[in-house]
Structure 1
Amino acid sequence: MKLDILVFGSHPDDAELGAGATIAKEIANGKKVGIIDLTRGELGTRGSAEIREKEAAASAEILGVAVRENLEFADGFFINDKKHRMGVIRMLRKYCPDIVLCNAIEDRHIDHGMGSKLVSDACFLSGLVKIDSKMEGDDHWQEPWRPKHVYHYIQWKNIKPDFVVDVSGYIDKKIEAILAYSSQFHDPNSDEPETPISSKNFLDSVNYRARDLGRLIGVDHGEGFTTERFPGINRLEDLI
């Protein structure tokens, strides 16, 4: 299946928190979008890997993504080495996305920065013809594929974006997708331990950050991204 956009997240819910409204908007505009979770989030204080798997599936249905897979890397302990790069490369060559979205370049959780660099490096390596990414016992050759663009969404830290996407009209869909992870986020009836992301303030921050980023570009809501390449435009009027 050829995808237009492939979104990577170190944990289930990273993609929704960082780029949920952008995903919803691109799908509404006819793009095929997929999500790859690197881990099952098994070290999370609340819920469990099994619960989060069901929540991730529900969230994917809300957003309307074409596919969602989990690479089952070790939460908190995966690293940027050959083994893990090859896992990402296989997904890139399987779905051949033109655009990749991935974790914040630096963040509070160590997996976010690690996942960001891992995916970015794999996007480059995936284009090298001499890398054979087929699994042991698999005779199927995967053709090299390098995405045209790799963008990093913003997570806990207020990283200055290189560009902001107008997501006005899609913030409610983003919140709905986030709330599919009922084990993780604010629930006044939950008896689970409190975490930095389970507070009402954090959930409210999803909306007020989108409003603030939207304010910067003169729209209702925005989502910010950084890029490792110098951004360019074809015409001055491309800027809103």
Structure 2
Amino acid sequence: MKLDILAIGSHPDDVELGCGATIAKEIAKGKKVGIIDLTQGELGTRGSAEIRHEEATNAAKILGVTLRENMQFADGFFVNDKEHQLALLKMIRKYQPEIVICNAVEDRHIDHAKGSKLVSDACFLSGLIKVETFLEGNDKPQAVWRPKQVYHYIQWKNLKPDVVVDVTGFIDTKLKAVFAYKTQFHGTSNNEPETPISSKNFADSISYRARDLGRLVGVEYGEGFTVERYLAVDSLFNLK
């Protein structure tokens, strides 16, 4: 199955928080979008791997994605090495996305920057003809594939975006998908320890940060992304 967009996050809920509204908008326009979570979030203070799997499934249904898979890398301890790169590039070649969206290049949680670089490296290696990979049960090598663009969403830190997507009209879908993670956020679970993202301040920030990015580009709501290489356009008039 070929995807238009493959969104990847180190933990379940990274994608929803980072680019949930962008995904919802592209799906509404008819694009096929898939999500891959690198870990099960098993080291999270609140919830468990099993509960977060259920929450991730519910969030995926809200967004309307075509598929969601989990690589089951070790939360907190996965590394950017050959083993992890090959496992991930198999998925890139399997789904042949035009665009990959992944974690912030710099952030509070150590897995976010690690995941960002791992995905970026796997996307590059996936285009090398001498790197052979095979799907289980198939003795024919996978075709090489390199996404046209890799975008990095913005997470805890207020990084300066290179691109802002107008997500006006889709922020409510994002919020529903985010708060499907009932164990993680303010007002959804009162029986577990507080964490930086379980505060009301953080819950409120999801909307006001999107509104502020929208303000900067003249729309109601926006989601920001950084890029690794220059974006090409046919004309200056193609830029909003």
TM-score (norm 1): 0.98
Once the two structures are superposed, residues 16-71 of structure 1 have per-residue CA deviations (whole angstroms, 9 ceiling, x without a partner) of: 00000000000000000000000000000000000000000000000000000000
1:173 match:
173
1:108 match:
108
1:126 match:
126
2:81 match:
81
Assess if the C-alpha contact under 8 Å between 2:162 and 2:224 holds in 1: yes
* Aligned-pair CA distance for 1:134: 1.3
* Aligned-pair CA distance for 1:190: 1.3
CA 188–182 in structure 1, closer or farther in 2 if over 3 Å, else same? closer
1:4 match:
4
2:148 counterpart of 1:158: no
* Aligned-pair CA distance for 1:189: 5.3
CA RMSD of aligned residues (A): 1.1
Structure 1 stretches lacking a partner, 5+ long: none
Letter aligned with residue 230 of structure 1: Y
Any idea what SS the aligned residue of 2:184 has? coil
Distance 1:73 1:187 in 2: 29
Structure 2 stretches lacking a partner, 5+ long: none
CA 108–30 in structure 1, closer or farther in 2 if over 3 Å, else same? same
Assess if the C-alpha contact under 8 Å between 2:17 and 2:206 holds in 1: yes
Distance 1:165 1:194 in 2: 32
Identity %: 69
TM-score (norm 2): 0.98
* Aligned-pair CA distance for 1:83: 0.4
Distance 2:188 2:62 in 1: 23
* Aligned-pair CA distance for 1:132: 1.4
Aligned length: 240
Letter aligned with residue 110 of structure 1: I
* Aligned-pair CA distance for 1:191: 1.1
1:68 match:
68
Any idea what SS the aligned residue of 2:145 has? coil
Distance 1:137 1:80 in 2: 26
Distance 2:189 2:92 in 1: 41
1:234 match:
234
Any idea what SS the aligned residue of 1:112 has? helix
Once the two structures are superposed, residues 186-227 of structure 1 have per-residue CA deviations (whole angstroms, 9 ceiling, x without a partner) of: 126511000000001101000000000001110000000000
Distance 1:154 1:137 in 2: 38
Letter aligned with residue 3 of structure 1: L
Moved over 2 A (4+): 135-138
1:23 match:
23
1:212 match:
212
2:53 match:
53
Letter aligned with residue 180 of structure 1: A
Assess if the C-alpha contact under 8 Å between 2:135 and 2:142 holds in 1: no
